[in-house]
Amino acid sequence: MASTSLSSSSRSYSTGSDDASSVVISADHSSDDPSDATPEPDVLGIYTGPEADAVLARSHSHWGKAVRAARNTPPATFPAHVFNLEGLLQRIPALPDSIPPELGSIQGYSTWENADVSCPLRMKKELNPSVPHGFGLRAPAPYTVSTSTSTNFYAWDGTDNNGIALLILGWAYILSSTLAESKGLPLTVVQVQNISRPPTPPVSIPVDLRYARSKEFEWWKTLITPGISISIGDSPGSFSPWSLVIEDLAGLKLIGRCAQTTSPHLPSARQAAGYLARLCSAYNLGNQSSAALAAALCFRIHRRSRRLSVPKLRLVLSRLPGSTRPSDKPTVPSEFNHLRYYMTLGLSHHALPVLLESIFWDPSVPCNHAGQWLRPIRMILDPIVTSGDRELLAKTIANASLKVSPLWLGVLLCGDYPYLLNIMDWYHWNSRSTVDVAAWTGIPRSFLSLQPTGPHLEGGHVTRSNVWRLRRDLKDRYEEEDYSLEPFGPFCPFGSMQVADIDLELRDHLQCSHQWVYQNWTWLHNSATDTGFRPTNTPIREDGWPSRQYPLAYVSQCVEKYSSSEDIAAIQRVSRTSTEWTFKWSEDQVEKGFTGQVVPPCDSPSDVPLSGDGEESERGSAGTSRCTAEPVSVQSWLDGLPTSRHIPRSPVWPSS
């Protein structure tokens, strides 16, 4: 491999917030094969330089510390915040308690108020009539459940018992029952065809449920019976998003008393929650209930394969018999009281991937340095993902991110995240509803979710981040451009714009400081509004993300670590793709001194990558773009800018 610094002395660089850094060179991705490790020259230094190297070092340090901490964590042990699902609930609305039974999905929009009282624009809605924020209430088929053949999540801290699999089944039923109650429809047991039956294992896994009443035992037995599922209503194929069918639970055998009835007992959601709480009490399952609920909420992530691989059961130390039996009082898990808020999260077409992918984004990283940020993450996580050690991956993410880690644990309890490496290799992102999700959870995943710190116009220039935000705020003023959807990719555009180059539609708001405060959510099917779980108004500030500075020697070491031709090519590919798609959102931008568009349009609309939207949509690939720019013309545009506003072009780090 060649040993070439990312910012070698043979390369110029130009980064920062001035106009000199505002050019986009669009790469022609003539090869979409990651094995193509031939770096392209960075003609204008947009993708390299000391700031890019600092981003690389920061990413390597952050994720390196996370994986080291994960490896040093005792087996089966997770930080307490991994089980804090309630920490995800901020302004999120509750799923309505009354939904017309015929609806297979519902939609809604958020309303925001501008805290900048000097601005005439007082309110805005996050609503695109053609693509509203949707919530799927129906699934084409149940998820097939089998026991994992690996040892992932088999041991559990604080107990010798592992009831995750049973708890996932229980929470899936409770969620389905709550949805059915909202629609005023009954639950129905249906036979599922074409479910393979594995050979009977030589050794069964007995689970003692003799503490349970006959109907309680019968309910658990129904949940583990292979080949059947539970649907909502009597219509064929009316499966819930949480409907399951058991393929193999490795010989699970329940021991208890069962009533002799002709039809299975299907309790209400609250009754079932009581049964689940009693199982947790009987076997001292502790925080496993919270983890299992997170797993059930994240079923949607596995909707392509519709297969769930749950941890092996081990329930051997019961608190029975006598006075230690579970209480007969009708207690429920604490999470049940907030269940409709969690259901909104799990049913949203976009919320889960947006939240899960937020750990791979950093608000201080501009789009042209996305490769430097993502490559260390890719290389650090790749051995873990390849080895199939989902438990170590969950611990690593728990050490890298506090608030989102409960959802990652939930996903990994049932399988893999299907787009994990694609995000870092080919820039796959879910870029819908990120502004809503940030308000709901307090977790941003796009620069659009951040509030500016002062007036847009400062020193005669406006940062491109603020120009992009203004375009979206004032999208109704444009006749031809469509700024209702968000840019593909979360990283902010780099550089600033002169006032003379800014759209006329925005000029009267340059002195403003749009401070948008989430007000409420409106459901389109009944116009009902919801102020959210925790109606606080704390904006997520653009300056609330300090970047740690690292010594020059450490940065140089990190640059050397990622100096192979393969690393450099991968970094450049992602940074170029990120920059292209960030600027394609405003592809007709024309600036002083440049006679053409900063980023030319795509060959065809089909080149635009789309993120998952509902059960039927597929993700596109940003790696299929064929957009090019003429370097000479762009260089002429750079040369035409005032000399005083150029960024120095001498390299800071020595070449390796």
For the chain, what are the domain ranges?
Answer: 19-78+350-645, 137-347
3-state DSSP assignment of residue 76: coil
pLDDT for 202: 58
* pLDDT for position 36: 53
Q: What is the largest CA-CA distance in the chain?
A: 88
- Residue 119: closest CA among 516, 585, 536: 516
Which residue's entry shows tokens 């444009």?
478
Within 10 A of 610 (CB to CB), how many other CB atoms are there? 16
Contact (CB, 8 A) for 355 and 437: yes
What is the per-residue pLDDT for 43?
64
For 126: left if phi > 0, alpha if psi spans -120 to 50, otherwise beta; the answer is beta
Note the pTM of the prediction, 2 decimals: 0.85
Q: 630 near 598, Cβ under 8 Å?
A: no
> What pLDDT shows up at residue 410?
98
What pLDDT, on the 0 to 100 scale, is given for residue 32?
Answer: 42
User: Which pLDDT belongs to residue 44?
Assistant: 63
What 3-state class would DSSP assign to 521?
A: strand
- Residues in the chain predicted with pLDDT less than 70, given as ranges, are 1-44, 197-203, 317-330, 542-547, 587-656
- For the stretch 113-148, pLDDT in tens is 998 889 999 999 998 888 889 999 999 999 999 999
3-state SS class at 408: helix
Instruction: For the beta carbon of residue 353, count every other beta carbon within 10 angstroms.
Output: 27
Per DSSP (E only), the strands in 400-481 are 457-458, 461-463
Q: Compute the chain's Rg from CA coordinates.
A: 27
Whole-number pLDDT of residue 584: 84
Which pLDDT value is given to residue 521? 97
- Other beta carbons within 10 angstroms of residue 162's beta carbon come to 22
What per-residue confidence (pLDDT) applies to 234?
81
The pLDDT value given to residue 107: 96
Residue 344 has a pLDDT of 98
pLDDT value for 201: 65
Q: Which of 100, 57, 232 is nearest to 652 (CA)?
A: 57
CB 45 within 8 A of CB 542: no
Residues 6+ apart with CB under 8 A from 329: none
